Amino acid sequence: MSMDSMKNYRLAVDENGSPFVLNSKGSIDFGYITEEMNLPPAPIRIAEGNAGPKGYGLKHIIEGHEKEIINSGYASVYDFIEDVASGFTEIKEGRAGSFLLEKGDGYHNTLFISLSKEGDYWKVISGGVFRIRYSKNKRIIHSASEVRTSSPGEDELLPFKDK
């Protein structure tokens, strides 16, 4: 999906002045890191960002990883980000204060995040589809068979299933 065709931006900006992207529900929050995940609790957000080797955010992911994301079955980079940010099953330690949100079995759909300077949100730096060996030896911060996809305060009881 080209940047020209994407109109999912909001006037709110990140710590670098780049506009946040809106999720499919019209919010700038794509997911949440909660207290039980062993990291500071805060929403996960992605800014438009910029492309290039030192880039970050949506433009960076589109430039560097769009083809592999589409080839893995996602309709767009935007859909990939929304899916992983709201449905990750593991958090692993990355480099230089970053963390990896991972989802998947045969391959890991991964978002790289770091805490904003003010500590009020987790920013998506990059993302892509990686072989399992990429993060095999990285320290697991949180692992869950089910990850909360609702917003804090929207706790709803899920139906109980007998095994």
Tens digits of per-residue pLDDT, 3-27? 443 444 446 899 999 999 999 999 9
Please state, as a whole number, how many other Cβ atoms lie within 10 Å of the Cβ of residue 31.
26
Nearest-angstrom CA–CA distance, 122 and 80: 17
Nearest-angstrom CA–CA distance, 139 and 72: 26
Task: Mark out the alpha helices in the chain (DSSP H runs).
Answer: 57-71, 77-87
Q: Name the average pLDDT for the chain.
A: 82
The whole-number pLDDT of residue 157 equals 35
68-73 mean pLDDT: 92
